[in-house]
Amino acid sequence: MTKPAVLTGEHFMTGDEAAAEGALAAGCRFFAGYPITPATEVAERIAERMPQVGGTFIQMEDEIAAMAAVVGASCAGVKSMTATSGPGFSLMMENLGLAVCTETPCVLVNVQRAGPSTGLPTQGAQGDMMQARWGSHGHYDLIALAPASPQECFHLTIEAFNLSETYRVPVLVMTDEIIGHLSERVVIPPAKAIKTVSRPRAKGRKDRFLPYKPGPRGVAPMAAAGEGYRIHVTGLTHDERGYPVMTVEAQAEMMDRIMGKIRNNREDIIRTEAYRLDDADFVLVSYGVSARTSLAAVDEARELGIRAGLLRLVTPWPFPEEKIRALAGRVKGFVTVEINLGQMHLEVERCAGGRAPAYLVGHPGGTIIPPESVVDMLKRISGRT
Amino acid sequence: MKERIEIVASGFGGQGVVRLGQIIGETGVRQGLHVTMLKSHGTEMRGGYVRSQVVLSEEIIDSPMCESPDYFIALSSAAYERFKDTVPEGGLILYDPAFVEKIDEALPCRQERFPAKELSVEHFENPLFANSLVLGRVARLVDVLDKEEMLESLLEVIPKFHDRNREAFRLGYEYGG
C-alpha cells in the first residue's frame, strides 16, 4: 500500500515515531538496525512505513552490521539511517569512524538509556554525550543534535539529514528514553514546506573524477557507487583520489579537510536557544529532556528573585564555545543540567575558563532531573538559602 | 481548569495500560490542550510493570512526570502499592477489585472501587472490554475531558469491536447512576 512519505497533519505520537517520520520526510529511504530498548519503536515505525514509500528496511544480525549497511547504502547514493541505544551505540562506534573517514553522510539516532553496560534498559539518561563526541578512535569532528520534544524529534531528524548531506558527515540525533517514549502533539507540515538538502553530486569526466577534492565549504562532491565514476572508498588515510597514502603529509591533509568542514562552518551549524538570558546572573546550560525541566526552573528561580536564564544546546556538538566564553565575562555562574555525572559540564567549565564558576546538577540516570533540584542549586550559589 | 492535571494508570504488561494513556492523551489533543503521555515499563515482555503518565494543561508542559497525580487508575496490586502514597488529598484512586485486593484505608485521598473486569465479563462474556469501561468512568470523573471526544479517540485507537467498545464506554460512564 502506498502512503505519502510526509504525513501532513496533527498527530499524537512518541519521540521515537516522530524521529522515524522526520527521517522519511527528509528523504531517508534506507534503514538498517537491530532492535534495542528504548529505540525499537523507531525501527518498528520505519519497518511499517518504508515499504509504503518504496524504501528499504533491513534488520541486521547486530549493530556492527547495521552501521556498516547504513554506510554502504549511503555510498550507493541513498539517504540512510539507523537507531540504537547504549550497548548498540558502543558497537556502532567503529563504523561511525568509517563514515567520518570516508565522508559518508548518514544519521544515527541514539535514544539514550542509563549505562554503563546493560544498565537500566527501560529508563532514560544522557550519559552518551562524550561517547558521541569521542567514541570512535582517532580525532575527528561531527555534529550532534538533541531534541527536547517529539515535535523536535521530527524537525531535528530532518535537520540531521540536511546537515549530514551538506557536510558529508555522520550526524547523531542524541535523544533519550524519556523523549523517545513521550507522546505529545506533533504537527507535520505539508511536504512542500519542508526543506530538504541532498549531497553535492559528482560532475564532469567520469575517468578524471577526484572523489575527495574539496568543493565549496570544503566539502567534496560525491559520486554514488555504480554511477560510472571511478571511485575508491577506504578507511585508510587517503588522498584526493581516494587512494591509500601512508604518509604524514597525507594524514595531515585529510585530517585538515575532515576537521575543517565542521570547524570552518561552525556558525552555520551551531544552534542554541536562549531563554531569559539577557539580564541573567546565572546561566543554566542544558539540552534534550533536561532543558524542559531547566526551563521551569528558570521561571521558579525568577519568582524567588534569582536572575536565571537558560542556554539550550540544540547542537551539543559542535559545542558553542564562543557563546560560553562571551557569557563568562558577565555572569556570576553557569549550571549545567544533564542526566549524567558531568559531561557537557566539562565543556562549560573549559570554556568558562575560570572567569565564572561552573556548577553541575547531574544525575546518574533512570529519571529526569526535577526543576526543584535546579532551583535548590540556584538558591545555594546565589546565597539565598 | 487547574494549571496541570495529572493522570497515572499502572498495571502489568498486556493489560492495555499504554493504550489507556494513549486514548486519554488523544482526547486532550483533540480538545486543543497541551498533553504529554509518558509510557514506562520494566524489562519483561509480558507481566512486568507498566505505567502511563498523562499530563493535561492549557500551558506548555515542562515535566511529563506525575509527581502527585490527581487521578490514579490502579490495575494491579503491585501498582497500587507502588503509587498509592503519591496521590494527594483531593486526589482519586480508581481501582479494579479484580486486581487490587487490599485497600489502604488510611490514605488521605478518595478511593473508588470500579469492578471493570467483572462488568465486562457480565455484559460481554469477555474481560476484553474492561479498559473501555474504565475510560467511560474516567470521562465521567475527570471534568476537563470531553465525553464525546474521549469516545471518538477510543474508537480511533481501537479499530475493532466498535459496538461493544461503545457500549462498554457508556456503561462505565453511567456506572453508579
How much is the ipTM here? 0.92
Residue A178 near chain B (CB below 8 Å): yes
- A376 in the same domain as A349: yes
Q: Mean pLDDT throughout A279-299?
A: 97
- A15 in the same domain as A91: yes
pLDDT in tens, A221-244: 999 999 999 999 999 999 999 999
Task: State the nearest Cα–Cα gap between A65 and chain B, in angstroms.
Answer: 25
- A104 in the same domain as A25: yes
Domain count, chain A: 3
Q: E strand or H helix at A37, and its extent?
A: none
pLDDT of residue B109: 98
Cβ <8 Å between A183 and B35: yes
Q: What is the percentage of chain A residues whose pLDDT exceeds 70?
A: 100
Domains of chain B: 4-174 (3.40.920.10)
**pTM of the prediction?**
0.96
In the numeric block, the cell 565549496 is attached to A216
- Checking if the pLDDT of B37 tops 90, the result is yes
- Residue A262 maps to a domain: yes
* DSSP three-state, residue A325: helix
pLDDT of residue A50: 98
pLDDT of residue B64: 94
- Residue A37 maps to a domain: yes
- A244 in the same domain as A164: no
- Checking if the pLDDT of A310 tops 80, the result is yes
Q: Mean pLDDT throughout B9-16?
A: 92
- A282 in the same domain as A240: no
Pairing between β-strand A9-14 and β-strand A182-188 as defined by DSSP bridges: antiparallel
- Checking if the pLDDT of A86 tops 80, the result is yes
- Residue A3 maps to a domain: no
Cβ contacts (< 8 Å) between A296 and chain B: which residues? 62-63
In the numeric block, the cell 565549504 is attached to A217
Which CATH number fits the domain that encloses residue A345?
A: 3.40.50.920
- A83 in the same domain as A131: yes
- Checking if the pLDDT of A172 tops 80, the result is yes
- Checking if the pLDDT of A111 tops 80, the result is yes
- A111 in the same domain as A20: yes
Residue A373 near chain B (CB below 8 Å): no
Task: State the nearest Cα–Cα gap between A299 and chain B, in angstroms.
Answer: 11
Which of A17, A10, A320 has the alpha carbon at shortest distance from A150? A17
Q: What is the percentage of chain A residues whose pLDDT exceeds 90?
A: 97
A180, A147 Cβ separation under 8 angstroms: no
The whole domain housing A342 covers: 272-381
Nearest neighbour of A182 by CB, restricted to B34, B64, B67: B64
- Residue A83 maps to a domain: yes
A297 to chain B: nearest residue by CA?
A: B62
Nearest-angstrom CA–CA distance, A83 and B102: 43
- Residue A211 maps to a domain: no
Predicted confidence band at B43 (pLDDT cuts at 50, 70, 90)? confident
Cβ <8 Å between A293 and B35: no
